[in-house]
Structure 1
Amino acid sequence: MEEINFDCLVLIFNILKNDKKSLHSCLLVNKKWCNIVVPILWKSYSLDEINEKLCNVILSFLPSSSKKLLSNNDIKLPSLTLSKFPLFNYISFCRYISPDNVDEIIDIVLKNLCNDHRRNLMEQEIYKLFISQCKNVKYLCWTTRQPLTLFPRASIFFSQLYELYIDIDYVNSDALYELAQICKDLNTLSIKSCYRNNPELFYLIDAQRNLKKLILDTKVDEKTGKELSKALARNRTTINNLHLSSIDNIVLPLTILVNLKKLTIFHWENYKKVQQYLAIYEFPNLQQLTLMYGHLSSFKEVSLLIEKTMGNISKIDICSINKTAKEAGILIKSIADNCPKINYLRTYIEPKDFIHVKTLLLNCRFLKTIDLKSLDFLELFINENDNNIGDELLNIFILFSPKSLYEIIISGLWKYSIDAFNRFFENFRERPLYHFGINDGYNYVITNDHKIMFRKYINEGVVKYFNKLLLVLD
């Protein structure tokens, strides 16, 4: 029997990288297989919780100087750590460092004792170990006060980073300046707690040669907002993914983010400014738009933004609006007319605008997920006399749904008849739905008779998943 060549084995084992049970079995076949599998397993090591055995393996790599320092400070390492040296340099295979894993190692050794001095020493030596030994780390979450840039081999370590999450509360200006000198090839930079003007942070942003994604998970004062805006402008040719947790003091450059493909805005307070931005900006290459936990009072501005794109939008996700928001139908119509490639849509709608859903389904033939929430949160009570108003929407899905559509979520503030639901699910019998859900207020309009019917269709395989509560009888 011919032996499988090395390259084929590498390909096969990489396909199995998420099946750790199978990979562990492959370890035992022979030395050649073991040498291939071990690096693959350890590249994803910090996805798992650190147990005592794994802790011992990691600490076995501590140099004698570190062990002596810890011992001199009454930090007793496990005896197995000191007696055996592993067969592989496992740490060199790690692709990212998790501060949670570092804390877990410290807790195992110190038995959760709260001693700041000893914890600090343990943390220091563990980070020194990783920075000196890890050869291919791509992601680092910096939420420690340790001076990581001053540790041995830091220049090599940081020069290879692909993604960096950094909490400015933990990192002083000197460390940021050092980081800007040696870390220049980030693809993704996430920044938290940048409340005040920090020139060294802007040096770090400017130092990047190919920064694609910038996440600002922070509120900023006016001066910092202006400087961050200038940093965005200076990186105009590379940034295509922008995630803002607050936009109140950031002035987005009008014409220079033309390459932007993904825009996410979370937790904004000044909704008038957001709507102003959306109305006047142009992002022709936009592919994904996410507006979360703000208070849009009108969908008109979002519609204007969409109309100025080049038809490549694949995802629109709008969640949390002002209760008096208007013109939801304008947005649905704009999407139907300008987003032929869209596959995910979550937004709000009123029953009077159901007709636009028909156009949406006819024009957007790649749509996979649609999630429609009720625009008026009092709609249930306003329309008490409108019997089964949701049947119109179900009939539209029956008649016009594209073959690609496999997840449908609709509001529970509209009433639906049993007959309309039966027709709806029968329509999907030949191409089953992956998920059907009902959001807000379903408990007012969904009866036990509805739930019994839902159980029937899930048992028959017409729908794979329902909202769990839709299957629980009262």
Structure 2
Amino acid sequence: MKEINFDCLILIFNIFKYDIKSLYSFFLVNKKWCNIVVPILWERYYPFKINEKLCNVILSFLPPSSKKLLSNNDIKLPSLTLSKFPLFNYISFCRYISSDNVDRIIDIVLKNLCNDHRRNLLEQEIYKLFISQCKNVKYLSWETRQPLTLFPGASILFSQLHKLSIDIDYVNSGALYELAQISKDLNTLSIKSCSRNIPELIYLIDAQRNLKKLILDIEVDEKTGKELSKTLERNGATINNLYLNSIDNIVLSSLTALVNLKKLTILHWKNYKEIQQYLAISEFPNLQQLILTNVHLPSFKEISLLIEKTIGNISSIHITATNKTAKEAGILIKAIAVNCPKISDLDTNIEPKDFIHVKTLLLNCRFLRKLRLKSLEFFINENDNNIGDELLDIFILFSPKSLDNISISGLWKYSIDTFNRFFESFRGHPLHYFGINDSYNNITVDHKIIVRKYIDGGVVKCSNWKFIQI
């Protein structure tokens, strides 16, 4: 039998990268297969399982000079640390360097002792090890005051990074400038905890040649906000995924320049008047995901206009207002029903008068899998007896077979008969999840008994009442 080509084996084994049992069986076939499988196993299971055994393996790669330096400063490495290098250079297989993992290694060695000098020294040598030995790192999480760009091998490591997450509070402006000089091919850049004007931050963003995803989880002054807005405009042709959290000072006019945006996330934004203004005039025809949560919105109308200007590729929408006075929730659901035939995940607000639009949504969006509807009402109208029945009847009559995850408001009342018919209608296509957040105690013991019955019968796999004692 002709031997399988080396490159073909790599492709085959990577298909099984999430099947650890198969990979272990391949590992034992022969030396050639072992040499291919070990890097795949290491990449798959590091960095998620930093324990004492893995820590000892990593520390075994420290050079003699580092071990001597640590010993001279009363830092005792674990006794199980290998005295000789292992058969494989496992460090070279790492694709991800995380500050959390480095901290975990330090805690294992120092037994959580808070000696700043020793922690800093051990941290320095661990980072030096990773930066000098990791030849194919694609993702770095930088939350350390160590001067990483000055360590041996930094120019190679940072030049090949695809993803960088950086906490500005730990990094000085000089390091940002060095980063901008050598790291120009980032696809994803995540920046957080910035509370001051740092021109080098803008320089780093502008240095990227093909930046696709930008995450800004920061607090900035007005001047920095305006500069960030300008750099968004300059990179508008490449950025297709924008995440903004708690940025009240950024000039939202930059949104109009992001013509190729596929995913937009805005969290905890208080300047809702600006959001309203710029969402109304923005156009993201290729938009696939829209997330606006914990945002104070006076109206859903502007978001509806934004959705109407897309070309029908939206698959996920999460829009929840912090205020109960938001208007036109029905217009938003109607816009989604008409313009988002591929949507599979929807989370938004609703009022009883808008239930009719849910019918259109279920009829038009036949790929819908998750639907979460949250009430905009402050209190229940006692005259609306069993108002929830209207919504449940719409689910009973019009739900697509794809819909298997439903969460609705517990503000409304539901009759026992309609509640039972609702679950019975899903007997042919079971629900993966069903939940009602019952803040007004409208869900009685009888309702919960019904849920338990259908969970036991396999019609509902999971519910937020599953473990409640009846």
Which TM-score bucket, shorter chain as reference?
A: over 0.9
- CA distance in 1 between counterparts of 2:423 and 2:9 reads 45
The worse-fitting range, judged by mean Cα deviation, of 13-22 and 202-211 is 13-22
Q: Size of the alignment, in residue pairs? A: 469
Residue 4 (structure 1) shift: 6.3
1:295 is displaced (CA, Å) by 1.5
Q: Given the alignment of the two structures, is residue 452 of structure 1 paired with residue 449 of structure 2, yes or no?
A: yes
- The answer to whether the Cα contact below 8 Å between 2:342 and 2:367 also exists between their aligned partners in 1 is yes
Q: Distance in 1 between matches of 2:90 and 2:28?
A: 17
2: CA distance between counterparts of 1:247 and 1:185? 26
Gaps spanning 5+ residues in structure 2: where? none
The equivalent of 1:472 in structure 2 is 468
Residues 1:428 and 1:45: Cα distance change in structure 2 (over 3 Å) = closer
**Larger deviation, residues 206-215 vs 78-87:** 78-87
- 8 Å CA contact 2:42–2:90 kept in 1: the answer is yes
Alignment gaps of 5+ in structure 1: none
Aligned pairs for 1:124-135 (under 5 A) are: 124-135=124-135
Deviation, 1:211, is: 0.2
Q: Does 244-253 or 90-99 show the bigger shift?
A: 244-253
Of the three residues 412, 420, 430, the one matched with 1:432 is 430
Residue in structure 1 matched with residue 223 of structure 2 by the alignment: 223
Structure 2 Cα separation of the partners of residues 456 and 147 of structure 1: 60
Query: Paired residue for 1:113?
Result: 113
* Residue in structure 1 matched with residue 308 of structure 2 by the alignment: 307
User: Matched residues, percent identical?
Assistant: 79
**CA distance in structure 2 between the partners assigned to 1:325 and 1:268 by the alignment:** 15
SS of 1:444's partner is coil
Q: Which residue pairs with 1:410 in the alignment?
A: 408
- Does residue 276 of the first structure (1) align with residue 277 of the second (2)? yes
Contact 1:45/1:94, CA 8 A, preserved across alignment: no
8 Å CA contact 2:349–2:373 kept in 1: the answer is: yes
Structure 1 segments of 4+ aligned residues over 4 angstroms from their partners:
1-9
Q: How does 1:311-322 map to 2 (within 5 A)?
A: 311-322=312-323
| Post-superposition CA distance 1:156-179 (Å, at most 9, x none) | 000111110001111111100000
Corresponding position of 2:357: 356
Tell me, in whole angstroms, the C-alpha distance in 2 between the residues paired with 1:79 and 1:466.
Answer: 49
Aligned to 1:70: 70
Question: Who is 1:397 aligned against?
Answer: 395
- Please give the per-residue CA displacement for 1:13-35, whole angstroms capped at 9, x wherever unaligned: 32332343553454344323322
Does the 8 A contact of 1:247 with 1:274 survive in 2?
no
1:71-98 CA-to-partner distances (Å, cap 9, x unmatched) read 2212122344352320000000011011
Shift of 1:150: 0.5
Query: Does the 8 A contact of 1:49 with 1:101 survive in 2?
Result: no
Distance in 2 (alpha carbons) for counterparts of 1:309 and 1:251: 23
Task: Decide which moves more: 28-37 or 155-164.
Answer: 28-37
**C-alpha contact 2:137 2:160 (8 A) present in aligned 1:** yes
Tell me the TM-score normalized by structure 2: 0.95
Match of 1:462 among 459, 462, 465: 459
Q: Residues 57 and 82 of structure 2 are in contact (CA less than 8 Å); yes or no, is this contact kept in structure 1?
A: no
Q: CA deviation at 1:230?
A: 0.8
Rounded to whole Å, the distance in 2 between the matches of 1:150 and 1:9 is 38
Residue deviations 1:116-163 (CA, integer Å, cap 9, x gap): 111111000100000010011111110000000011110100011111
Q: Cα offset for 1:315? A: 1.1
2:47 and 2:101 in contact (8 A); partners too: no
Contact 1:46 1:97 in 2 (8 A): no
User: Aligned with 2:297: secondary structure?
Assistant: strand
- Checking the alignment, whether the CA contact within 8 Å between 2:301 and 2:331 is kept in structure 1 is yes
| Residue 341 (structure 2) aligns with | 340
**Which residue matches 1:328?**
329
| Partners of 1:299 and 1:108 in 2: CA distance | 51
Q: Which moved more, 1:75-84 or 1:207-216?
A: 75-84
- Cα deviation, 1:273-292, whole Å, max 9, x if unaligned, reads 22222222222221111011
In structure 2, give the amino acid aligned to 1:463.
V
Tell me the CA shift for residue 43 of structure 1. Answer: 0.9
Measure the CA separation in 1 of the matches of 2:463 and 2:11: 37
Q: Closer, same or farther in 2 for the Cα pair 1:248/1:265, shift >3 Å?
A: same
Q: Closer, same or farther in 2 for the Cα pair 1:435/1:254, shift >3 Å?
A: closer
Give runs of aligned pairs for residues 38-437 of structure 1, distance below 5 A: 38-81=38-81, 83-252=83-252, 253=254, 255-378=256-379, 380=380, 383-437=381-435
Taking the aligned partners of 2:342 and 2:419, their CA distance within structure 1 comes to 28
The whole-number CA distance in structure 1 between the counterparts of 2:52 and 2:445 is 50
